[in-house]
Structure 1
Amino acid sequence: MRIDSQLRALRSDMAPQRHAQVALEAARDSWAEGPAGAVLAELEGFGKAGSLDDYPALGALFAEEWRAAGLIGDLVDSLLPALQEHPLGQVPLRHQYKDGLTVLQLAQRGRAALTLITYEEMDQEQASACFTGGERYEAVLAGAADVRELELLSETEGKAAIDCRTRRVVAGEGMRCQGFAHTRQVTRVFGRLVVLRLSRTEERPPETRQYSLGDGRLLHRASGCRAESQREMATALLGRMGRKDAAPLLADLSREGSAHIRWQTLRECLALDAASGFAALWRIAADPEDELSAPAGALRAQLLEAHPQLAKIEEATCPA
Structure 2
Amino acid sequence: MFVRDELKALRGDDREARTHRVAMEEALEDCRREPRLAAVLEELLRYGEGGDFAHCPALVALFEHTGAARDLLRPLIGRLTALHRAYPLAQLAFRHRSQAGAHVLQIAAKARATLSLVLQDAAAFSELPIATFVDAEQREMVLAGKASASLFAIEAEDRGRVTLNSVRTELQSGARMKCTGPRRSRLIQPSHESLLTLRLARTAGRPGPTRRIDVRSGRIVHRASGNAADSRAELAMLLLGRMGRSDALPVLAARTRTGDAQLRWQAVRHALRSIRRQVCRSSRELRRIAKIRSISQLGHCWRNCNVSVHLCFPSPVDATGDPFAGGWRCHARGDCRCDRRGLRSPRGRKRPSRR
Paired residues for 1:149-188 under 5 Å: 149-188=151-190
Do the aligned partners of residues 67 and 156 (structure 1) sit closer, same or farther apart at CA in structure 2, a change above 3 Å counting?
Answer: same
State the secondary structure of the residue aligned to 1:189: coil
In the TM superposition, residue 7 of structure 1 has moved relative to its aligned partner by: 5.0
Query: CA deviation digits over 1:260-296, x for unaligned, max 9?
Result: 312332333244338xxxxxxxxxxxxxxxxxxxxxx
Q: Within 2, Cα distance between the matches of 1:241 and 1:118?
A: 40
Per the alignment, in what secondary structure is the counterpart of residue 91 of structure 2?
Answer: coil
Q: Deviations over 1:30-56 (max 9, x none)?
A: 111114111011111111011211110
Q: Distance in 2 between matches of 1:190 and 1:61?
A: 28
- The aligned counterpart of 1:261 is 263
8 A Cα contact 1:127 1:213, kept in partner: yes
Alignment CA distance shift 1:2-1:269 (3 Å): closer
Query: Would you say the 8 A contact 1:121–1:189 is kept in 2?
Result: yes
Q: Does 1:23 align with 2:32?
A: no
CA distance in 2, matches of 1:126, 1:11: 43
CA distance in 1, matches of 2:232, 2:182: 22
In the alignment, structure 1 residue 139 sits paired with structure 2 residue 133: no
Query: RCO higher in 1 or 2 (8 Å CA, sep ≥ 6)?
Result: 1
CA distance in 2, matches of 1:2, 1:250: 46
SS at match of 1:171: coil
CA distance in 2, matches of 1:209, 1:17: 41
Structure 1 alignment gaps of length 5 or more:
275-320
Which residue in 2 is equivalent to 1:32? 32
The farther-off stretch of 104-113 and 73-82 is 73-82
The secondary structure found in structure 1 opposite 2:258 is coil
Select which of 188, 192, 206 maps to 1:204. Answer: 206
Amino acid corresponding to residue 16 of structure 1 in structure 2:
E
Aligned residue type for 2:178: R
User: Which protein is bigger by CA-based radius of gyration?
Assistant: 2
Is residue 215 of structure 2 the alignment partner of residue 213 of structure 1?
yes
Relative to structure 1, is the Cα distance of residues 128 and 4 closer, same or farther in structure 2, using a 3 angstrom cutoff?
Answer: closer
CA offset at residue 5 of structure 1? 6.2
CA distance in 1, matches of 2:3, 2:255: 54
Q: Secondary structure at the match of 2:143?
A: strand
Structure 1 residues 146 and 238: alpha-carbon distance in aligned structure 2, compared to 1, 3 A threshold: same
TM-score of the superposed pair, with normalisation by structure 1? 0.78
Deviation at 1:179, TM superposition (A): 0.8
Structure 2 spans left out of the alignment, 5+ residues = 277-355
Mapping for residues 1-320 of structure 1, pairs under 5 Å: 7=7, 10=10, 13-34=13-34, 35-122=36-123, 124-239=126-241, 243-273=245-275
1:66-115 Cα deviation digits (max 9, x unpaired): 11111221212322332333233223111121211111111111100011
Q: In structure 1, what residue type is equivalent to 2:197?
A: V
Code of the residue aligned with 2:37 in structure 1: it is A
Which whole-Å CA distance do the structure 2 matches of 1:80 and 1:220 have between them? 38
For this pair of structures, how many residues does the alignment match? 275
For the structure 1 residues 83 and 218, does the alpha-carbon distance in structure 2 shift closer, same or farther, using more than 3 Å as the test? closer
Distance verdict in 2 for CA 1:19–1:54, change over 3 Å: same
Answer yes or no: is the 8 Å Cα contact 1:147–1:188 preserved in 2: no
Q: 1:207-244 CA deviation, whole Å, 9 max, x = no partner?
A: 11222223222222221111111212332444455544
In structure 2, what residue type is equivalent to 1:197? R
Residues 270 and 197 (structure 1), Cα distance of their counterparts in 2 relative to 1, 3 Å cut = same
SS of alignment partner, residue 89 of structure 1: coil
Kept after mapping to 2: 8 A contact 1:209/1:220 = yes
1:3: Cα distance to partner?
6.5
Greater than 4 Å deviation, 4+ residue runs: 1-13, 239-244
Using a 3 Å threshold, how does the CA distance of structure 1 residues 253 and 4 change in structure 2: closer, same or farther?
closer
Higher percent of residues as helix: 1
Q: TM-score, normalised by structure 2?
A: 0.71
